[in-house]
Structure 1
């Protein structure tokens, strides 16, 4: 996948490109708060597959994952930067998701 390239691009730009992407993805997959964004993209690409070790990525599945990655990035950037208050809306959606988790209850 192109994850290393995108992560490098993000790092070279002061870590602003992907700001909020992980939180946006967590809301999209409705879980996996303990995973990095790369793993969350695989969950988005292959819903219902349990455990990342079971995600076999051959040439065909890699093409699917790459397509999902760029589609997710496009949707994320549109949500974050394409509307006023987008960053705050993404954070609010993530905060709401967090508040609904049983492990976040006192």
Structure 2
């Protein structure tokens, strides 16, 4: 599966990032309080939030800016994990979203 993605830098109500992946005509969305993990093997909490309309791919306002955008590529999916690559403005990075009992973990995969 390939679709577009956007990473919003969202400053209200508390600073966090929103990861949005295009799928089935909507943007599946997760709030990531500490931002995407920058080091391989690192995890970040990712809280699933309601789906957003596709117009959020380009949406900005005084509290929300676009930190990165591009397309994403799914490699594998189970009920508890999605393995994918974000192909952003500057590079391509592989991540896994892993479902826990309450939320998700966003994990940066070691080898590209």
Give TM-score, length-normalised by structure 1. 0.29
* Higher helix proportion (structure 1 or 2): 1
Give TM-score, length-normalised by structure 2. 0.28
